[in-house]
Amino acid sequence: MPIPTPAMVTTDCAVFRVSEHKLEVLLIARANAPFAGCWALPGGFLEPDETLAECAARELVEETGVVPDYLEQLASYGDPGRDPRGRTVTIAYLGLKSDTAQSLAAADDAADARWFAVSSLPSLAFDHARIIADALTRLRAKLSYSSIALKLLPAEFPLSALQNVCEAILGHPLDKRNFRKQILGLGVVEDTGRRQRLGQHRPAMLYRAATTRGIQIFR
């Protein structure tokens, strides 16, 4: 029986937010080799006593200061040669950050941390461009059959904000009346009774994520 070859295990996070109608992803400028100075997904080596998800969240906070509002495993990438340091396998996570102002704090392995519009990404280290593409595909797909979009919004939000988020992710406009009909029909949001007056126009009703856990599918 061959002796098992150890590999380095890392996690990487593709964290998205929607800001001013644009879908953005969080990147760091790498401080160290390999790819020093290059933009990359925040991530790092797995430590002995943490789960994969804990590692992803920890590295994200260490490198960017961003605490994600949602994190799910995306996929793993382990082609030989993806990392010039040697054999590494990375477990990639898809993260979402609700759109509330928060300063970025680059630290640790990161020289800088910035949000980039997914429509104009810089060239990326490792296979991170591929990971982001896969994350986007997943995000767009889940939009239609889950309440994942709510994670990109604050606790209370008008329906127009939810529609903006969906449009930013899908990259095309949606019909307002059909959108509201569908969202309310799904029962994933509920009226708070409160309303938001903001700007020189009619105030918007505020909604929150419904307390019913998960999506109900009958039959």
Site of interaction with a copy of itself (CB under 8 A):
1-2, 4-9, 32, 45-52, 73, 75-80, 87, 89, 91, 109
- Which partner, DNA, a copy of itself, none, binds residue 84 by CB below 5 to 8 Å per kind? none
Alpha-carbon distance values, 132 to 9, 27, 72 (Å): 19, 11, 14
- Which partner, a copy of itself, DNA, none, binds residue 193 by CB below 5 to 8 Å per kind? none
Name the amino acid, one letter, at 199.
G
> Does 193 participate in binding DNA (rule CB under 7 A)?
no
Give me the 134-163 binding string for DNA, x by CB under 7 A, dash otherwise: ------------------------xxx---
Residues β-bridged to residue 189: 209
Q: Between 100 and 144, whose beta carbon lies closer to a copy of itself? A: 144
Hunting for tokens 């007056």 — which residue is that?
A: 197
Q: How far is the CB of 130 from a copy of itself (least distance, A)?
A: 13
Q: Between 51 and 146, whose beta carbon lies closer to DNA? A: 146
> Does 214 participate in binding DNA (rule CB under 7 A)?
no
Task: List binders of DNA among 159-188 (CB under 7 A).
Answer: 159-160, 175-178, 180-182, 185
Q: How far is the CB of 85 from DNA (least distance, A)?
A: 47
DSSP 8-state assignment for residue 48: T
Which residues, other chains included, contact 45 with Cβ-Cβ below 8 Å and sequence gap of 6+? 8, 9, 10, 55
- Which partner, DNA, a copy of itself, none, binds residue 100 by CB below 5 to 8 Å per kind? none
End-to-end CA distance of the chain: 51
> Does 202 participate in binding DNA (rule CB under 7 A)?
yes
Is 113 within 8 Å of 63 (Cβ atoms)? Answer: yes
Question: What sign for the dihedral angle of Cα 115, 118, 119, 121?
Answer: positive
Name the amino acid, one letter, at 26.
L
- Measured between alpha carbons, how far is 206 from 165 in angstroms, rounded to an integer? 15
Binding residues for DNA, rule: CB under 7 A, are: 158-160, 175-178, 180-182, 185, 195, 197, 199-205, 219
